[in-house]
Amino acid sequence: MAGTEGKNHLQPRKPQARLRQESGFFCAQYHSAAMFEQAYDQYTTQDQLVWKVLFDRQTALLHKRAAAAFGAGLARLDFQRNAIPRFEAVNEQLQRLTSWELVAVPAAVDDAAFFAALAERKFPAVTQLRPMEHFDFVQTPDLFHDVFGHAPLLTDPAFADFLHFLGIVGRQHRHDAPALVRLRRLYGFTVQFGLVQEDGKPRIYGAGLVSSAGEIHHCVHDETARPAFELATVLATPYSEERFQEQYFVLNSWEQLTASVAEMAALLADSWQLKPA
């Protein structure tokens, strides 16, 4: 995920540090994945080192903080600290477990293309890894965020189905700008920055959290709000573009996540029930 991760985890982000979620979560121009591949042999020794350092740091930070489903997914995929994952190998596991696959893209895609991909159980994943000189500051998603952050939960059938159904709803409303704003918020406060209650404690599962040291430190800080997940509140809560999130919503259970999609679809079908975004 985009953002700085300085020593003071309460420092504001630079304005360009985060994708402009409220104006378009995937704001870069869409590139067709049909003619694009991972080109694994083009990764440099430096790229492999960046993956290794990030992998070691994040797995250490996530110990006793990550949701069980994320940890189980990470184990299923068996990522190696010394080697950037090959999409082909990851997809073999995803296809076998949940019929999902990573689709290589050179840059983040627009909303319509993104939700359309999710509806087909395809997750657009950037192949470029952040350079070492920008280790803690990336302006757009990179391979570590997309693969380490998202792929583990794609091995979980319930979560995979939730994301698939969310994609279907997004595809149905791809020309409805207000609907897309709300869909981005639901996606953002769950898939990107979500927490779930486990063993009496909020556990991290959102990709923007699991892939970011700074976001983790901020999320677990005593002064950070972690309210219970309520769809109406989530849909009314915009993202901060320059700082870490002011609050992180906590699911009572994974079933609540699945139910949110059906409720979201019903609200969009009866749009008069929705308050202005």
**CB contact at 8 A, 82 and 50:** no
- CB-CB neighbours of 219 under 10 Å: 23
How far apart are alpha carbons 234 and 276 in whole angstroms?
Answer: 13
Q: Token pair for residue 232?
A: 């109406």
Backbone angles phi, psi at 124, to 5 degrees: -65, 120
Asked whether residue 145 is marked as a ligand-binding residue, the answer is yes
Residue with tokens 């989530």: 234
Phi, psi values for residue 262, rounded to 5°: -60, -40
Is 150 labelled as part of a ligand binding site?
Answer: yes
Dist CA 264 CA 74 (whole Å): 29
The DSSP letter of residue 206 is -
Determine the Cα–Cα distance for residues 187 and 203; give it in Å rounded to an integer: 17
**R_g of the chain, CA atoms, integer Å:** 17
Q: Annotated binding site, which residues?
A: 145, 150
Q: Annotated binding site for Fe cation, which residues?
A: 145, 150
